[in-house]
Structure 1
């Protein structure tokens, strides 16, 4: 089969289309999927660059996929051949014609969504749900701020928060991203590149601040988040690209707190809850993946380049298989 692989860590150029990769076989509790599309996440770029856990070479890139179940291994009861599915983690790599995934990391894909849209679900929607619902315990009526509201996790978090009756504001880095995030459901979106946007964000809550902040760039925003949180406010850190110098005393009077999220560290029980919520969201319509750009397999390196270089996101980057 064909698969996008790399034989050493490095820049996007290390990605190459291999044409004679052995087709994988599912083991116990595993599902073999014929892949139709694969999503590109920041996590994929960290793995490729050697900034995540070590991998064996050659390594097939990709976590998020969408496709059709080809066969199942012993112990699989939730899925059957012919089922439309998505993944948020695979055993053999997602950007390939076939992939094997543990059944805990697979979910059903509703017929209302395309495979390309399905490839946007995995890590972004699972991360959004775990951050907003399981960790932050956000409730209807809460004021929620989503930094990077036009990116993959930002899109999912906005849709989930709005569906749960929360008041959602966001930030983005371009005029296009601001318009995109508003169209996706944010009440107000502010350009985080402009001075004064923090005061604007506070003003939108009548000075009260935010109950929950979903943070994509803690190395940039953490000190501001301390000011933006209200009493008992919670900030969930989805991403950070560096160190930050802050004073913990800023959290004491408000009794606010920060917490990181790692969806791949979720328990089986958490994964089942998230999968059930997202499958229900597909049926009710709040799960509406948004695609920024699409690339064929032979241009996977260009997809990775775009992800790391774009100044403003407008949804998810995918690779068609």
Structure 2
């Protein structure tokens, strides 16, 4: 099978195309013929050595969609099933064939292509967990989403709107109309020196919840938009409780993408509440370009590799 392989973790340029033996599913696994593989900042991080303990050689790719080629008897899927899956943190998705654990795959949304489904796995899953499980967002509440045009943010705006909450976005000016089109009631420019004041002018007293997808100074400023006693959730490491003032509670978390999460996302896609956002689909041979576009942090939605047909 054809794969994108890194013999060393020295950055994006360490990835080269290679031929490797086809894998075989072990107990509780399915072998997926990959037709779409999402590209995310985590892939850039893995290749830069940001995640210790990675065995070499390493095939990046943590989110895939395709057709079951073979499966262990206990995997709960059959050859020919259309599925999407999280491979985090083992990777292996930038390949014609990939192994996925049965508890981390689910039937693809009927209303999504392979590439759209692959791009939802981690971004959509992280947004859903951050808003629903961690942030406890309720109908009628307000939520500020940073990096609202990105892979996590673009899903989060839609999920918040579907819940019945009022999402506000933080994004660069070229993306304001795009984020509003996803369901944000207001969008502010993080380059503006008074962007925190702009949010507070729209939501006097502050938002109920912050979902931070950026970290760093933007996260520190964004906490200033949260009401006293509100909540703040970040998807940026280091993970753990956030030490915040004014009675604001929060945490930074690493998403866990399992079957139930993927099933929930599929229901939202098929009901029209969530539209997968894919900026570009590139062939496996352009894997370095795909990674570079993600590393630039200016992509709208997701960059996805098309593998196979």
Q: Report the secondary structure of 1:263's partner residue.
A: coil
Alignment gaps of 5+ in structure 2: none
Paired residue for 1:195? 193
Q: Does residue 256 in structure 1 map to residue 248 in structure 2?
A: yes
- Name the CA distance, whole Å, in 2 between partners of 1:10 and 1:131: 31
- CA deviation vs aligned residue, 1:66-108 (integer Å, no higher than 9, x gap): 111111113112x221111111216560010000000111121
Taking the TM superposition and a 5 Å limit, the aligned residue runs for 1:207-246 are 207-239=204-236
Q: CA deviation at 1:226?
A: 2.9
Paired residue for 2:303? 317
- Name the CA distance, whole Å, in 2 between partners of 1:35 and 1:181: 30
Match of 1:82 among 58, 80, 83: 80
- CA deviation vs aligned residue, 1:44-86 (integer Å, no higher than 9, x gap): 1111111013222211110011111111113112x22111111
Q: Report the secondary structure of 1:121's partner residue.
A: helix
Q: Is the 8 A contact 1:130 1:261 kept in 2?
A: no
TM-score normalized by the length of structure 1? 0.90
- Name the CA distance, whole Å, in 1 between partners of 2:158 and 2:122: 15
- CA deviation vs aligned residue, 1:214-255 (integer Å, no higher than 9, x gap): 1012212233233211132111111259xxxx9x5x61xx31
Taking the TM superposition and a 5 Å limit, the aligned residue runs for 1:1-321 are 1-18=1-18, 20-77=19-76, 79-89=77-87, 91=90, 93-173=92-172, 175-205=173-203, 207-239=204-236, 251=245, 254-264=246-256, 271-310=258-297, 312-321=298-307
- Name the CA distance, whole Å, in 1 between partners of 2:165 and 2:50: 35
Q: Is the 8 A contact 2:190 2:218 kept in 1?
A: no
User: Which range moves more in the overlay, 107-116 or 130-139?
Assistant: 107-116
Q: Report the secondary structure of 1:170's partner residue.
A: strand
- Name the CA distance, whole Å, in 1 between partners of 2:190 and 2:225: 13
Q: CA deviation at 1:283?
A: 2.1
Q: CA deviation at 1:313?
A: 2.8
- Name the CA distance, whole Å, in 2 between partners of 1:275 and 1:297: 24
Q: CA deviation at 1:282?
A: 2.3
Q: Is the 8 A contact 1:159 1:185 kept in 2?
A: yes
Closer/same/farther in 2, CA of residues 240 and 203 from structure 1, 3 Å limit = farther
- Name the CA distance, whole Å, in 2 between partners of 1:169 and 1:277: 23
Q: Is the 8 A contact 1:124 1:156 kept in 2?
A: yes
Aligned residues: 303
Q: CA deviation at 1:169?
A: 0.4
Q: CA deviation at 1:144?
A: 0.5
Q: Report the secondary structure of 2:153's partner residue.
A: helix
Q: Is the 8 A contact 1:27 1:74 kept in 2?
A: no
Alignment gaps of 5+ in structure 1: none
Q: Report the secondary structure of 2:303's partner residue.
A: strand
- CA deviation vs aligned residue, 1:185-215 (integer Å, no higher than 9, x gap): 111111111211111111111x121111110
- CA deviation vs aligned residue, 1:257-300 (integer Å, no higher than 9, x gap): 22011114x7xxxx344233212212211221111122211111
